[in-house]
Chain A
């Protein structure tokens, strides 16, 4: 099984939530900067999933011999 701890769906959900609270503007400045950092990291991780080969998954798929 190659389920990674990182979940794209959960990450996207969290990003949406952060965006919603940013758009509502109900965070103080310190909190905002933390959340923005978090959202940026999540987006980065999501993009990585789209564009970068995960060696572990790759290896599993290469070993599938049916």
Chain B
């Protein structure tokens, strides 16, 4: 019997394998173990499970040598937002190797993060589906976002650069808005993160301070492991949290499940601070706008009132003027009327007076005429009786002391008398008188 040594056999296997599998192959597998050793090599165990069950149907050791791993690690982590770790589905380019001492091994040359991302995304979607089925997915989103999110519970690692950026941005905002923050420390990555974060959420509720919102932030670059934010238990808890959650957990890739259940999610801690400042800025704007509206409304009302007053006073003035005008017209009319009447009456009176005057004139002239006639008649009559006329007619007049002697009894013997005749005067003395009785 020709026996060969184990080494001979392994050498044969090695050489046959090399001949049979000269190329590299892209394979899909799940990582069941992943360790990086001190020298920078990465050792994995890849498995494949039967579809629809957890039963492993294939398994192989795999290695990513340090020189390859150095180039792949950051790229993988930045693309997927997670470390290469157990439970992940990967698409890797492998060379089949066999070592006489270490046996069958797959030498990983390249890794396609897009595949893992797709797988992670599918897993996230699965968790989201589950949370939706649980009826909790939108509970936190349905909480009202405070008008003034000023009292903030911050979940972060105190040493994280992201936390410092957040605090700096928030407390030194350009507007001078006031924020009150309390830090609830938590481990933000790795296996302990999920529980640590949940503990922080619990402490917020237990500390007896009223908060408007919870801000969960972490910085530290895109390559950080964010897989803890895709855990069902944490997300289930956060979705039902009684305070609105603002997440700013720093990533460039698809959002995590925590981002999905949080009330609001932004990309980075700085963005979270900006979001909070912006919320207050909006309120400040509303306040200013309301202030302005108030001023405008008052101005408008005052203008209306002024206009109303002006209209009223104009109307008053106008109607007063109209009143006065019509009163003036009435007065003028009355005045004219009165003048007319007065004139008419005056004229009438005038005419009457004139008529009476002329009547009077006529009458008085007639009467005068009559009187004059009478006088003339009397004169004429009288003239016939005047001593001169009588004397002229041949009669004589006997006078004593210038007075006509009308009776013998007026004369005594011895009295001097004068007798006027037509042609002269006789001066005589009485001798005797005799009274004749007829």
| A22–B297 touching, CB < 8 Å | yes
Please give the distance in Å from B250's CB to the nearest CB on chain A.
Answer: 22
- Smallest beta-carbon distance A21→chain B, Å: 9
Residues in B with CB closer than 8 Å to A3 are: 210
Q: Which residues of A contact B148 (CB under 8 A)?
A: 8, 49-50
Partner of A2, one of B210, B286, B291: B210
Q: When each residue 18-33 of chain A gets 1 if its CB lies under 8 Å from chain B and 0 otherwise, what string results?
A: 1100110100010010
Contact indicator B294/A19 (Cβ below 8 Å) = yes
Q: Which of A36, A47, A58 contacts B287 (CB 8 A)?
A: A47
Within 8 A of A (CB), among B268-315: 280, 283-284, 286-287, 290-291, 293-294, 297-298, 300-301, 304-305
**CB of B396 within 8 Å of the partner chain:** no
Which of B209, B210, B287, B304 interacts with A43 by CB under 8 Å? B287
Query: Which chain A positions have C-beta within 8 A of B151?
Result: 57, 61
- Please tell me if the beta carbons of B284 and A66 are within 8 angstroms of each other in the complex: no
| Dominant secondary structure of chain A at its interface with chain B | helix
The one of B175, B178, B280, B286 that contacts A53, using a Cβ cutoff of 8 Å = B178
| Given contacts A19-B293, A66-B184, A52 and B178 within 8 Å (CB-CB) | yes
Question: Complex: how many Å from CA A1 to CA B207?
Answer: 10
Bound form: Cα–Cα A19–B284 in Å: 17
Chain B residues with CB under 8 Å of A22's CB are 294, 297-298, 301
Asked if B9 is an interface residue, CB under 8 A from chain A, the answer is: no
Q: B294 near A40 (CB under 8 angstroms)?
A: yes
Q: How large is the interface on B (under 10, 10 to 19, 20 to 34, 35 or more residues)?
A: 35 or more
- Complex partner residue of A66 from B177, B178, B182, B283, CB under 8 angstroms: B182
User: Residues of A contacting B71 with CB < 8 Å?
Assistant: none
A2-B209, A61-B182 are contacts. A50–B294 as well, Cβ < 8 Å? no
- Does the CB pair A50–B284 fall under 8 Å? yes
- Distance between Cα atoms of A50 and B279 in the complex (Å): 11
Considering the complex, give the chain B residue whose CB is closest to the CB of A63.
Answer: B209
| Residues of B contacting A2 in the complex (Cβ-Cβ under 8 angstroms) | 209-210
Asked if A66 and B301 sit within 8 Å, CB to CB, the answer is no
B280: nearest chain-A partner, CB-CB: A50
A66:B147 contact, CB within 8 angstroms: no
- Residue A61 contacts which of B147, B180, B200, B297 (CB distance < 8 angstroms)? B180
CB of A9 within 8 Å of the partner chain: yes
* A20 CA / B176 CA spacing, docked (Å): 30
Given A25-B304, A52-B178, A66-B185, do A60 and B209 touch, yes or no (CB 8 Å)?
A: yes
For the complex, give the distance between the alpha carbons of A23 and B290 in Å.
12
Of B178, B182, B208, the residue contacting A50 (CB under 8 A) is B178
Cα(A43)–Cα(B181), bound, Å: 25
Give the shortest distance, in Å, between B334 (CB) and chain A (any CB).
45
Write the nearest CB–CB distance from B205 to chain A, whole angstroms. Answer: 12
Contact B290 A61 (CB under 8 A): no
Question: How many Å lie between the Cα of A12 and that of B210 in the bound state?
Answer: 21
B297 to A: closest C-beta gap in Å: 4
A39 to B301, Cβ gap below 8 A?
Answer: no
Residues of A within 8 A of B293 (CB): 19, 23
Complex alpha-carbon distance, A53 and B181, angstroms: 12
Contact A9 B178 (CB under 8 A): no
Asked whether B301 lies within 8 Å of A32 as measured between CB atoms, the reply is: yes
Chain B residue numbers with a CB within 8 Å of A61 are 151, 180-182, 209
Smallest distance from the beta carbon of A11 to chain B beta carbons, Å? 10
**CA separation between A53 and B178, bound complex, in Å?**
6
Q: Decide: B301 and A12 in contact? CB cutoff 8 A.
A: no
A-B contacts, 11 listed (Cβ < 8 Å): A2-B209, A8-B147, A18-B294, A25-B304, A32-B301, A39-B294, A40-B291, A47-B287, A50-B280, A51-B177, A61-B181
Which residues of A line the B interface, CB within 8 A? 1-3, 8-9, 12, 15-16, 18-19, 22-23, 25, 29, 32, 36, 39-40, 43, 46-47, 49-54, 57-58, 60-61, 64, 66
Q: Which 10 A-B pairs have the closest CB atoms?
A: A22-B297, A64-B182, A61-B180, A66-B184, A53-B178, A57-B180, A66-B203, A61-B182, A15-B290, A39-B294
Other A-B contacts than A12-B286, A39-B290, A64-B182, 4 sampled, CB-CB below 8 A, are A8-B148, A36-B294, A50-B148, A51-B176
